[in-house]
Structure formats: C-alpha cells, structure tokens
Structure 1
C-alpha cells in the first residue's frame, strides 16, 4: 500500500473511531432506526441530483446497500440502544475484518500465506484481550453482543459487494456508489422504526430535535459515511481484501479512547 493510501486509511480509522461516541450521543433523543434512516437520507439528498448513478448491475447495488448500509447499522444502532458500550461495540464490530478475509478467500480465491495468517492470528488474540479488558467486570447483555457481531458480518458482506462492484467492467466512481446506495436503506429504516418505535415516538423525536442530535447526524452522514466509506471503497478497489480489512482493527484504539474521554 502506498504512503498516501496509508494516510487515507489512518484518516478513516480516526473518523470511524469517533463514530461510536457520536452514535451514542445521537441516540439520546432519537430512536436508533430513525437516526439511521435520517443519516442515509442526508447522504443521498440532495447529492443524487448532482452525482451520476453508478452503471453497475442492480443486484450488486442492492446487495451493497442492504448489507453495508441497512443491515450493518440496523444491528449496530439497536445494539448500542440496548446498552452495548460504545467502546466495546467498536471492538466487536472489527470482527468484520476476519469475516471479510474468509469471504474474500471463498469469493475471489485470495490466498493467505504464513506471514499473513500469523498476523491475523495475532490480531484476533489482541482484539480478544482488548474485549476482555474493556469489560472490566461489567455485564453486557448477550443480545447487544450478538447484534454487534451481526453488524460485523453485514459489513463484511458489504465489503465483498464493494469489491465486486469495483472489479466490474464499468468500475464506477466510489462517491457515486456511496451516494446512490444510500437510497436503498432509507425506506426500510423508516418502516422498521414505525413498526418498532411507533409514529408518536418518531414525531416526538423530530419535534424536540436539538443541536446535539443535528450535529451527530451531520457527522454520521457527511464524515463517517461519505468521507469514510468513500475512502474505504477506494482502497478495497485497489487492493486485496486481506490488505484492507485488517486496517479497521485500529478503529477500537480511537473508539475506546474517545469513549473514555468524551
């Protein structure tokens, strides 16, 4: 990986590391699924009127949007809402790196050698140690843990769709992929919120929305999604999945530090 791409990867690490605290703050005054729906609505509008639609098969676009956008954040936001600590969520979510490597090996035939396998094993051990240390005797509901793990698997599936899209003959601009795929989860998020939270709760959260929630939404939409996933998608298009996915293992360092300080 070039030095420039390495710097971009570190930028994503910082952006996504802060993401968990921002989600926690945003959930103080808004139901999780509605917060997610508004996030992607801000990503899509009004940008889709100025960015051309990516010329890729619809099934790939739908697969990307439903996994990396809808499923990942539906599971993650609900997990945090059910009491999953933000710092611990940032750790567990990084299981996506291992899921991505396994899926990449099966899907693209990517081979791992001894050094890569040793590095992955060491990374897994490190993450497990951090998870145990972050618990520090506190009880975490199994539901929140499993939801976060489901979010990690959804993210990994999205990475595979991303790689397939960027390997397609049309090779669309990453920004157009991020923006147009954001259309896909909006209605599912709002419908799910309506069913689970009720219209009264949704209306109340909009009427009483404060600047903290607005700033949280802006960060989640413009920084974490457009900037973060724009860079991430570009890197996945340039390199093998096993080179890119493990970089996210640095995210918990920022996530735990920000959760402790903010």
Structure 2
C-alpha cells in the first residue's frame, strides 16, 4: 500500500492525492516511486481516461524534503526523471488541481501535468535559491511552459507568483475561487473523459514527441501521426456520429 499518496481509480476520472499534509506534501524518492507505480496502474485501467493530481491539506506541494537531503549529494533526481517521463508517456491527460502553494519541486510536478487549475489564493515559485540550491531537474518542465526571461527571473530571485501572475505567464490554465476548485476541475476532467481515448493517446504522444523538433521534421512527423489518427476506429465512429447527429460510442482504438 502507498504510504505517501492516496489513489482512487473508480470511474473515468482517477485521482492521486499527495498525502503528507503535515510535511507540506514533500516530493521525495518514496513519493516519486509511489507516483510512478500509481500512474502505471491507472494507465492499465481502460475505464480511467483522465487523472487528477492534488494535495491533501492546504498545500499542493512545497517541493523536496530538505531534511532528507541534508548531508547528501543526491536528491530524488533519478526518481524524478522516471516520474516526469512516466507522466508524459501516460497517454491520458493529467490535470493538476492545485489547492495551495506549489513550490520548488512541487511546482515542477505541477507543470509536468498536462493542465493546471488552481485556487486563486495559491502561490507558485522556484524557491530553491533561498537555501543555496538550483531547480535543476524541474528546469526541463518549466522552460516548456514559460519563456526564458520569466523562468530565469523566477529561478534567480526565488520570488513567488500569485495565481493571476501564474495564469498570465502560462504556468496555470485558470485560477478559480477555492470553493469552486473541485467543481471546475471535475467539470473539465469529465468533459475530456467523454472524448476519444485513442485520439487523446495518440495526440498526447505526438504533442510531446514533436515539441523539440525542427519545423520541417515536425511537420513530416505530424503528417504521419495524422495518418494514424485517421486510421482509428474511433475516428470513423466520430465522423459517422457527427454526420448522423448522434453521440459517438468510443472503442478506444
């Protein structure tokens, strides 16, 4: 049984909750390992089409467990590599439901999710510099969502952004009142869960696979991926349903 997270795999929207609120939901090797295992289990369940990731208590995650890192030259680096790779290869959208501050490694975990909905009182920051560290591992995630200048400003200053600033710079999709966070997140998750899981799986793979390509290779790759999408049974079903003015019945293939 996981010790640092809670997992709910009932229904089309699975949920993972970081569950160490007394420690501000730190991201350590044990948590990373349990997240990887939980995501693998949710990936294997065809009925789960979307995953929501949140934190217990009033904090999403304050990042690495500094007490566990003291006296060592290794943080949760190897497990973070595996975790972020697993998230991007899941083939199912992950929505971060950010219930409070997302800082340092917690911010990296949030940004590794496909979409982010946050409470409008949440704060965000790469605060590692305040304790003589640098956000090495999460750089790869943040620079794919935020421009170079803003990323460096955050990393060099360690300043925290408001939810409104996080939306403006692309870290967060939308910020909502705390009382509406659950409803807004589940509304979006359920809307996505009604779409073709096969098209989403191929689409997410193509999105992440192609983002670092040069323009011409990217276009040729996406052309080939479009052929794969058009060959899906779900594509035929979706077109037939649209023309027949009925709701599609997805087969997931």
TM-score (norm. length: structure 2): 0.28
**Whose strand fraction is larger, Structure 1's or Structure 2's?**
2
Structure with greater helix share of residues: 1
Structure of greater relative contact order (alpha carbons < 8 Å, 6+ residues apart) = 1
- Could you tell me the TM-score, scaled by structure 1's length? 0.27
